[in-house]
A and B are shown apart, each in its own frame.
Chain A
Amino acid sequence: MASILVFSERANLAFELLGKAKELGGQMGLEVVAAAFNPADAEAYLKRNASKVFYSDQAELKDFEASVYCQALAQMAQKAGASLILLGSTRRGKELAGRLAQKLQTGCLTDVKSLQWKQGKIICVRNAFGGATEATQVITTQAQVIALMPRAYEAHAEGEKKGEIVTLKLGLKPSRVKVVKKSEKDARAVDIQGAEVLVCVGKGLAKQEDLKIIEELAQAIGGLVACTKPLATDLKWLPESRIVGLSGKIGKPRLALCLGISGQVQFSVGIREAKTIVAINTDPNAYIFQITDYGLIADLHQAVPQLNAAFKG
């Protein structure tokens, strides 16, 4: 029977993929098969919508390495008769997606934000042009490899265990890459992508010393200071790691507060996913006001100290 084969190296992401696969499988008449490489995952997937788990614990698969996992999944896909291979769009998932698609001679899309079965096609939406646009795309090859972004869909709750675990004996060429060590990323590094609140400042800021009031505000509302590209690269008032937008980080904060920013797409792609966008700008016609929930026409140099007073108190 034709099927959807689901895999992610992160079990939580695999749960999300399985939820979506179940829905698509129902619409497309496909069985949902998961790939697992440790026994706990295999058991868990059977409780989260997989009707079968292809399992292997061969030594070559102990650590994730793209070329070996690619071989394993290609063999599993063949065995499952998979017409859709659904992967998680993490960095590992993406490097696997391209290699696997090549091996299986299929089209591939990564960083997919939404999937929809419509008129016999799987419609995929993903960002293009650095996030300035959203492309709606379909893969035309008979089988397809799609890497779905984390949190695109919610995982289904754990249910009754259904189906079976099938242990496969895979033919694997061992990895040529040796992992020497794993280490933590620098914890002091500012995490713009993960920030709950971003206080973004642009060229409306008159002078570098005025950053002080911006930092005060960020502190008062529990946010991080971020900036537009010119403020870092041209004026060098803030490090480049603080740039939000096309040339910098893409955030998904609860609140993005935009101060003295005109709102060109090169910046706004970095905050577009924010739950709430607020802007303060002197120019009532600034484009930023077209993409904000709340806007205030005012000079930030006067407004910010008042905001500081309001939120400190």
Chain B
Amino acid sequence: MNIVVCVKQTVDLQQVRIRKETRQPVLENIPLTLGPIDKNALEEAVRLKNKSGGKIFVVSVGGETLEETIKEALAMGADEALLVTAPELDAVESAKAAVLLAGAIKKLEGYDLILLGEGSADNYSGQVGPRLAEILDLPQITYVKSLELDGRKIRAVRSLEDFLEEVEVEMPALLSVVSEINEPRIPAVTQILRAGRKPKKILKPADFPIQLAGGRWVDTLSNLAPIQERKGILFKDGLKDLPNLVLALKEEGVGGK
């Protein structure tokens, strides 16, 4: 069984600060990492492999530093990496990423399962999975919270807003997972050392007959922290001011019902 896990390199959002004067996110010198839900997808692939055997290919599209970030996926248990890198693929948009991922996956000697996170850490638009499924003409099962294999059959429980949906599908299929599905492992030092020696294949956009018309399909005009319109009333007199806070809360309807 060949399991493909698609991941995306993003800045570590836990370390992003907002510049107060300009409301811009400070992204310089922030380490690059895999998205947290990407790690859930990897963990699930490792779990399935340990149970049913097979090989895990981590596939990703990104800038020139992608190779470094992908070591973490190899340390977690992916067997091989297949990357499409180029400077212009840093912050590549969803539509193009899906086309390149599909191109890379087609170069593999077959696949049974494609796993990815329900959304990327930075953009979280959840498009790449469904786009990829459409390009590869695969059934898609999104928002998977648990998953079992029975021969060629996949049984998955999807977590939708109001209810759970249990579904079955034959391989090959594309599945996106939610973070509840598992607890991603933290690789041991030996695994990190071994990761460097695992096979990595680097492709370039020129290796694909890409037909993505025009320039970007989505333009970003601005990306700023939102303006907070708050009353900004500060009671500075410590506990003596507490009755004022209670009054304010009661005026807001707190404890009133």
Quick one: which of A94, A133, A184 contacts B126, CB cutoff 8 A? A94
Residues of A within 8 A of B16 (CB): 129, 132, 265
Residues of B contacting A: mostly: mixed
Quick one: which of B168, B225, B238, B257 contacts A180, CB cutoff 8 A? B168
> A163 within 8 Å of B by Cβ?
no
A298 adjacent to B231 (CB under 8 Å) = no
**Residues of chain B from 201 to 235 with CB closer than 8 A to chain A in the complex:** 213-226, 228, 230-235
> A137 within 8 Å of B by Cβ?
yes
A297 adjacent to B234 (CB under 8 Å) = yes
A137 adjacent to B121 (CB under 8 Å) = no
A133 adjacent to B225 (CB under 8 Å) = yes
> B133 within 8 Å of A by Cβ?
yes
B218 adjacent to A139 (CB under 8 Å) = yes
Residues of A within 8 A of B224 (CB): 133-134
With A175-B139, A294-B231 as known contacts, state yes or no: A133 contacts B223, CB within 8 Å.
yes
**Residues of chain A from 121 to 169 with CB closer than 8 A to chain B in the complex:** 123, 126-130, 132-141
Q: How large is the interface on B (under 10, 10 to 19, 20 to 34, 35 or more residues)?
A: 35 or more
For the complex, give the distance between the alpha carbons of A261 and B66 in Å.
35
Question: Closest CB-CB distance, B116 to chain A, in whole Å?
Answer: 12
> A207 within 8 Å of B by Cβ?
no
For the complex, give the distance between the alpha carbons of A11 and B235 in Å.
46
With A96-B130, A111-B124 as known contacts, state yes or no: A294 contacts B167, CB within 8 Å.
no
With A98-B94, A182-B166 as known contacts, state yes or no: A128 contacts B223, CB within 8 Å.
yes
Question: Closest CB-CB distance, A36 to chain B, in whole Å?
Answer: 21
Quick one: which of A134, A140, A307 contacts B246, CB cutoff 8 A? A307
Question: Closest CB-CB distance, B199 to chain A, in whole Å?
Answer: 30
Residues of A within 8 A of B225 (CB): 132-134, 265
Query: CB-defined interface of B229-254 with A at 8 Å, one 1/0 digit per residue?
Result: 01111111111011101101100111
A98 adjacent to B166 (CB under 8 Å) = no
For the complex, give the distance between the alpha carbons of A278 and B245 in Å.
9
Quick one: which of B131, B164, B248 contacts A183, CB cutoff 8 A? B164
A97 adjacent to B130 (CB under 8 Å) = yes
> B170 within 8 Å of A by Cβ?
yes
Residues of B within 8 A of A280 (CB): 245
For the complex, give the distance between the alpha carbons of A250 and B59 in Å.
30
For the complex, give the distance between the alpha carbons of A293 and B248 in Å.
10
Quick one: which of A66, A94, A255 contacts B252, CB cutoff 8 A? A255
For the complex, give the distance between the alpha carbons of A132 and B236 in Å.
28
List 12 A–B pairs whose Cβ atoms lie within 8 Å, in order of A's numbering: A94-B126, A135-B223, A136-B222, A140-B214, A179-B165, A185-B159, A185-B164, A221-B255, A277-B230, A284-B234, A295-B232, A307-B246
Assuming A98-B128, A175-B139, A276-B252, what are 14 further A-B pairs, CB within 8 angstroms?
A67-B133, A96-B130, A102-B130, A102-B134, A106-B217, A111-B125, A126-B125, A177-B167, A178-B169, A180-B166, A296-B245, A297-B236, A298-B242, A302-B239
